[in-house]
Chain A
Amino acid sequence: MISRRGVLSAGAAGSAALGLAACSGGSGSSDPTDKDANGDKTITLWIMQGTNAKTDEYVDALTKAFEDRTGATLKVEVQPWDGAHDKFVTSMSGGTSPDVAEVGTTWVPEFADAGGIDPLTKDVDEAGIGDGLVQGLVDAGTLDDELYGMPWYAGVRSILADRKILEDAGVTEQPGSWDDLLEMIETIKSKNPDIIPFPIAGSSIFAGMPFVWGAGGDIAKESGGTWKATIDTPESVEGIRWYTDLALKHDASTAAASSWLETDSLAAFQQGKVAMFITGSWVPATIKVDDEELFDRLVAFTIPAKDKEVAPSFLGGSLLCRFTETEEPELAFELIKLMSTGDLATRWAKETNYFPGEQKALDAVVKDGDELTKVFAQQMTEGGTTVPVTPAWGQIEGKKTLSTLFSDVLKGTDPQKAADSAASEMDEIFKG
């Protein structure tokens, strides 16, 4: 920017000099900031609907910034999450894919393996924006040592509670272990038998996984290029058993919750029927829109591990990916750079209540944020973890292997038995 202004103020003759100045900075033959060459070029970007309430204003600002920097036109298409996966798939097979799109972290390995999106490692290194990214997002986007998506935003799950119910029961301390959490639940239950202290939602796998991880277990492990399920190991089963026993033995939940999704827990919480539940860092903002009073009473805790304060929790979010079909890879990457770094990245995170993918921006958001944000941020930085980064994960997610595991145990199946069938189902999928 500065060098370009310098050139202009020096009165150097228009485009030729500008081209030269730009060329000196770039290494490739086609320079993404060559405004004259880009005049009639258009880049298409897909972003997901509903993430940002002020999407229109953000899109206007982004379009302007992109045109200022490159001279090319930016066409933004907002896509609904419903059916987004199918839409990506059909567009990739039909040759109508966008140049750049935000892709959910768990889909990236699948699309990369299928050959729909580009590796970005080289571009990221050359642009010098590879350092200081949030590690969990980098892990999620890395397949066979290649980064396929630039971290854009992230979210994580922790415990969200209604302070009033907790104060009535006299339990407001961050639980330091599973025992502490159980004591909290039992106290709430004894003080207020009508309330559901801590619903165990059977179809919400990312509410259950922190307990598997918190006991030292895992979904699957890779060794020598092959994946093997570890959901049936003693550690994993211990976590599954402890978590589901909250419902089965300790009356922390309700029978109705065995088929609940995360949104059902949220609805019951908003109706005042639930004391605390596991949910995403983006949820307080949703509650604020619906019920300002409840928002003021919110308090967050990190999900505890077996014997410490912070258990690993799934770090989900979106990566910015470049599609292999694009005719303008340099321009497309310029857009990714613009969105994932600097002011626009921070702005997106602030407006959406997600965490930015860049550590520096994340620190800024946490510094300005409220108490809730700090708790979620702690869960993310100390415990952010990811699901197996393999193309097979898409299939495991589609087959609902883990939801079946949790809801079966809640229906009375023995944890070890349910874990064994989940493990053999996953191993079958890993085999291909």
Chain B
Amino acid sequence: MTVGTEAPSPPATAPARRRVPVRRRLTRGAAPWVLLAPALILLAVLLLWPLVRVVMLSLQDYRLRNLIRGDSNYVGLENFTKVLTSDFLWSTVLPNTVGFAVVCVVLTMLVGIVVALFLNTLGRAWRSICTAAIMVAWAVPAITGTYVFVWLFDPLNGLVANTLDALGIMEAGSWNWFDDRWAFYAIATANVVYHGFPFIAVTVLAGLGTVPRELYEAAALDGAGAVTRFRSVTVPGIRPILAVCIILSTIWDFKVFTQIYLMPGGDGTNRSVMNLGVWSYSESFAQGLYGMGSAIAVLLTVLLLVISVVYMRTLMKEDEL
């Protein structure tokens, strides 16, 4: 009976499906979009429109008077040609930005992972205490943290200079490391890594908890040492998390601004330490060349997009995407 009644039903529903496809499909297709709409509209207003505006600005010679009068002044790709043909970009700004980001990402990831592994070996109480302690470093605003580093490294009165002085290595005030491109960036790196590693450590620590214990036991039984266990069990287990951490760190370290701008000479006075972020700010807000500043910002965005896509392709497997 059941077979008898069910037998004709498939052909009955199938043509029915085919007969009203448009309406059904529309409602079915629309449902997710309707649900997504509030978020998408918000994103469009908050992110997409400013992005479009920046691109539009980057195609103009846009100054204070254009801003006040509300008119536009399109000049095509002039800003981009100026930036891309400038010696300053290739010899100073880009090497500073890229080199600094690479070093910072590598160091932040290394320190973050090592700290996470260390935290993972601790008991619950000590782990909470240590996690809280490093989160304090993370919670300090970039502006405050940078001032602390500037004070620590003050060439005349700073802790570092005076310690070196007491050890007889150098006389306090005899050398100004903020003037030197390499020393300047070494201090900035310490600052950025110090503020960046807690996030990585805590995220990786969370990831470590998801790797099944049995895998470690099995590996240990097979005679794998600590390094092999880390390479063959831990890394594959937390790969997606590592990938996200690397992408986020890269984006943060590429667009670093506060930590450079607030250091002595970092506001544009010392040209040899300028990076893309400070350059863009200096052109648009300090000098009122909003078009030029926007062009630099667009280049920075494109650079970050390219890097992110390359990362996604190489770090994540297809099915994880």
Contacts and interface: CB of A to CB of B under 8 A. Distances in A.
Interface in B284-300: 285-289
Interface stretch (B112-120, B218-226, B263-271): B263-271
Interface in A90-136: 92-93, 110-111, 113-116
B179 interface: yes
Contacts of B90: none
B176 A255 contact: yes
Name B's interface SS: loop
Interface in A14-63: none
A110 B179 CA distance: 31
Interface string B59-101: 0000111011110000000000000000000000000000000
B272 to A, nearest CB: 9
A93 B175 contact: no
Interface stretch (A237-245, A354-362, A396-404): A396-404
Contact of B270 (A92, A115, A404): A404
A7 B300 CA distance: 70
Contact of A115 (B65, B154, B282): B65
A295 interface: no
Interface string B253-282: 000000000001101111100000000001
B75 to A, nearest CB: 13
A407 B154 contact: no
Interface in A266-281: 268, 271, 273
A411 interface: yes
A47 B109 CA distance: 48
Contacts, number: 89
A110 B286 CA distance: 12
B270 A93 contact: no
B174 interface: yes
A77 to B, nearest CB: 20
Given A115-B69, A399-B287, A256 B270 contact: no
A260 interface: yes
B279 to A, nearest CB: 11
A403 B269 contact: yes
A352 interface: no
Contacts of B289: 395
A256 B154 contact: yes
Contacts of A233: none
A93 B282 contact: no
Given A93-B68, A395-B287, A398-B286, A256 B173 contact: yes
Contacts of A259: 176, 178-179, 264-265, 269-270
Interface in A316-348: none
A398 B179 contact: no
Contacts of A258: 176, 179
A89 interface: yes
Contacts of B70: 93
* Consensus secondary structure, chain A interface: helix
B47 to A, nearest CB: 20
Contact of A254 (B156, B178, B271): B156
Nearest to A92: B68
B269 A203 contact: yes
Interface string B282-320: 100111110000000000000000000000000000000
Interface string A78-96: 0000000010010011000
B56 to A, nearest CB: 16
Interface size bucket, B side?
A: 20 to 34
Interface residues of A, number: 33
Interface in A186-228: 202-203
A394 interface: yes
B64 A89 contact: yes
B68 A116 contact: yes
Interface in B126-147: none
A404 B269 contact: yes
Contact of A255 (B174, B268, B285): B174
B196 interface: no
Given A255-B173, A394-B288, A400 B267 contact: yes
Contacts of B63: 114
Contacts of B173: 254-256
Contact of A407 (B157, B270, B282, B287): B270
Contacts of A254: 155-156, 173-174
A92 B288 CA distance: 14
Contacts of A202: 265, 269
Contacts of A398: 282, 285-288
A404 B175 contact: no
Contacts of A203: 264-265, 269
B65 A113 contact: yes
Residue with the greatest number of chain B CB neighbours at <10 A, chosen from A86, A114, A394: A114
Contact of A93 (B67, B157, B179, B271): B67
Given A92-B67, A260-B264, 9 more contacts: A89-B67, A93-B67, A114-B63, A115-B68, A254-B155, A254-B174, A395-B287, A398-B286, A400-B268
8 contacts: A254-B174, A256-B176, A257-B176, A259-B270, A268-B156, A395-B289, A398-B288, A400-B268
Listed from nearest, the 5 A-B pairs whose CB atoms lie closest are A398-B286, A259-B264, A256-B155, A398-B287, A256-B156
Interface of B: 63-65, 67-70, 154-157, 173-176, 178-179, 264-265, 267-271, 282, 285-289
